Amino acid sequence: MHYQGNIFRPPSEAYSILLQVTTGCSHNKCTFCGMYKGSRFSIKDDATIMADIDFAASHCKDQDRLFLCDGDALILPQERLLAILTTIREKLPWVTRIGTYANTKSIRLKTSEQLRELRDNGLAIAYMGLESGDDETLTRINKGADSTRMIEMGQKIRAAGIKLSITVLLGIAGRERSLVHARETGRVLTAIDPEYVGALSLMLTPNTPLFEASRRHEFTLLSSSGMLEELGVMFAATHLTDGYFHANHASNYLPIKARLPQDKEATLQLIDRALQGQVRLKPEYLRGL
């Protein structure tokens, strides 16, 4: 495979074929993220992409999922993306699910008809970073969209029949807006009603604006109890009709896996017991990005 730069994928795509069709991230301005710093966004040429599909056809026959890398493959022009999906279907017929990262910009650039066309040609799941439902926090972290746009684009991709997995970030609002961030994020998640929610806990990354703000004492990272309290408020404010809320990423102090609505009360009780010191939290040395 002709990989360029660092390759990132969601935890649930750990065993997927990783097909890199773009490099970097089309936004790449979030203050907390260092994933694509120094990596120029570009769309790879068709010959390289098709050669990688041919490689997967010969060497990846045991993998039935495929993930389009890097930060925002959905931003590809429709005809080019359709050609890639068609070739995957023809040459990798055993692949049952294709996924991609998506942001509000790339979703907005596609019409509802185009999104349905992508779904019909194999695009089954999109991963979108919400991070927060609090507009002030979204502005501070330079996310590039407010909560209204997040809701609109999340609902748009869901209406097209593409499953949606949303990432939220505990601690991203700092200490002063922690509970506002938690409640507002629950509000936005409820409005979008995705199939999957993944909560991560903020870990400051060197060479990012938020890391530098922390060093200047302009941003205060929450303690483990602060992260846990925020998780409890966010989880209580999130109402999904039939979805999964996971906080089992390596960064989290308390791993939870809940299906909503049926696991809501039991999970809230677990978080409450952890806040009271009755459940052991993950030690710092075991946490990771």
| Mean pLDDT score, 124-138 | 97
Q: Which pLDDT belongs to residue 134? A: 98
Q: Which pLDDT belongs to residue 228? A: 96
Q: For 93, which DSSP code? A: T
Predicted confidence band of residue 148 (pLDDT cuts 50, 70, 90)? very high
List the single range of 24-33, 61-70, 170-179, 255-264 with lowest mean pLDDT: 24-33
> What mean pLDDT value characterizes the chain?
94
Q: Which pLDDT belongs to residue 56? A: 97
> Looking at per-residue confidence, does 286 or 227 come out higher?
227
Q: Which pLDDT belongs to residue 129? A: 95
Q: How many residues does the chain have?
A: 289
Contacts for 217 with CB less than 8 Å, ≥ 6 apart: none
Residue with tokens 């989880």: 235
Angle at 43 between CA 39 and CA 49, to 5 degrees: 115
> Looking at per-residue confidence, does 182 or 25 come out higher?
182
| 3-state secondary structure at position 127 | strand
Asked if the model's pLDDT at residue 285 lies above 80, the reply is no
User: Could you read off the pLDDT of 13-36 as tens digits, one per residue?
Assistant: 999 999 999 998 888 889 998 887
| Mean pLDDT score, 93-113 | 96
- Taking the C-alpha atoms of residue 284 and residue 98, their distance in angstroms, rounded to an integer, is 34
Fold for 11-284, please state it: TIM Barrel (3.20.20)
Residue with tokens 């990798």: 92
User: Could you read off the pLDDT of 60-101 as tens digits, one per residue?
Assistant: 999 999 999 987 899 999 999 999 999 999 999 999 999 999
Predicted confidence band of residue 283 (pLDDT cuts 50, 70, 90)? confident
User: Could you read off the pLDDT of 190-249 as tens digits, one per residue?
Assistant: 999 999 999 999 999 898 999 999 999 999 999 999 999 999 999 999 999 999 999 988
CA distances from residue 203 to 49, 102, 106, 136, 223 in whole angstroms, order as listed = 33, 22, 27, 20, 11
In the chain, where the domains are located: 11-284
